[in-house]
Amino acid sequence: MGLFNFWKKSGKKVKGGGDQAPSAEDLKKEVEGLGLDTAGLDIKVDGDKVVVGSAASDEIKEKIILAVGNVEGVASVEADADAAVFHTVEKGDTLSAIAKKHLGNANRYPEIFEANKPMLTHPDKIYPGQMLRIPK
């Protein structure tokens, strides 16, 4: 099991938020609203930590980790995704700069954008504290 840390006071506002994590039901609705496969998905909330169970594939699980972790009130997500590579956006980051750092070429930023759909809707709409999935 891996433990992935997030900025608790940033992210999408869902029921709860602030110092209170949303309920497991609200987080599952958030994941479903993004069009991600939730068949057999088990989400548990323990304070500001979310535990994510099985998912259809590693890619879907990584996207679910990001979908629930990038919600206000969630400080960490525990899931079996040890091989996952994530990047926490810092002030001044761009997808191009992140692509250069992780993929060796700034022009590969569309790969990061695609790897984070549907959570990202535009390559320029990232914010400090947001965690992004880096494709393998």
Counting every residue written for the chain, the total comes to: 136
d(CA 48, CA 53): 17
- Closest among 73, 93, 94, 74 to 17, alpha carbons compared: 73
Average pLDDT over residues 30-36: 92
**pLDDT at residue 16 is higher than 80:** no
Average pLDDT over residues 60-79: 92
Give per-residue pLDDT as tens, 75-126.
999 998 767 899 999 999 999 999 999 999 999 999 999 999 999 999 999 9
**pLDDT at residue 18 is higher than 60:** no
Q: What mean pLDDT value characterizes the chain?
A: 90
Task: Tell me the fold of 86-133.
Answer: Membrane-bound Lytic Murein Transglycosylase D; Chain A (3.10.350)
d(CA 88, CA 25): 26
Q: Cβ atoms within 10 A of the Cβ of 26, count?
A: 18
* Segment among 16-20, 56-60, 121-125 with least mean pLDDT: 16-20
Domain map (residue ranges) of the chain: 2-79, 86-133
pTM over 0.85: no
Q: Provide the pLDDT for residue 92.
A: 96
Residues 6 or more apart from 2 whose CB is under 8 A from it?
78, 79, 80, 81, 82, 84
- Closest among 123, 124, 128 to 112, alpha carbons compared: 123
H or E element in which residue 49 lies = strand 49-52
**pLDDT at residue 19 is higher than 70:** no
